[in-house]
Structure 1
């Protein structure tokens, strides 16, 4: 019997970081604080962006974070407090569908307190 999934209850969030040390520190903290079930560290990206009126280009890493949608605001707050950038990127997209056992695992790891 297939398990059902309610579209949008889980999200992927993306965070850029300047180096592997920051990537590992943030990733470990995010998982330890139960803000996500898993963080993938993707090396070797180049970011081109405008900052303070100039076009910049930097080598970065990308964190791909899997969590419950209700945790995204807390994740953003954690990143703001622990990220070296003045304006840290945290963007998210809701998960429409996926492997039910994997999505269930995210729910089990990232528990949401119900009142």
Structure 2
């Protein structure tokens, strides 16, 4: 089974916690770490910005990844949210087994994206 960490930024810690709780409740992610205070420096619409934000790191399975990313987009306040995923190359097997079990435990077919 393949696993992914998904990094997401949000405007506030409250927004990050709201999104994180929703996707965990829906079984799209096993867990989320909310980093309540980060500073992002980026260019948007021709201007350099330095803004306080919050971040999330979510853990999920390959079979839930597309649905998780789609769901985050529907919950997010940003026009172009940062949602990036990277594969987990290795990990503590009991933890990864738990991630797999949590992502299977509460299947939310409404947010399952099927191929084809």
Same fold (TM over 0.5): yes
Runs (4 or more) in structure 1 with deviation over 3 Å come to none
Q: How does 1:65-84 map to 2 (within 5 A)?
A: 65-84=58-77
What displacement does 1:79 show? 1.1
Q: Which consecutive unaligned segments of at least 5 residues does structure 2 have?
A: 108-116
Q: Which consecutive unaligned segments of at least 5 residues does structure 1 have?
A: 1-5
Q: Structure 1 length as normaliser, TM-score?
A: 0.87
CA distance in 2 between partners of 1:106 and 1:51 (Å): 35
CA distance in 1 between partners of 2:98 and 2:19 (Å): 21
Q: How many residue pairs end up in the alignment?
A: 106
Q: How does 1:20-59 map to 2 (within 5 A)?
A: 20-59=13-52
Structure showing greater Rg: 1
Whether 2:48 is the aligned partner of 1:61: answer no
Q: Structure 2 length as normaliser, TM-score?
A: 0.86
CA distance in 1 between partners of 2:3 and 2:16 (Å): 22
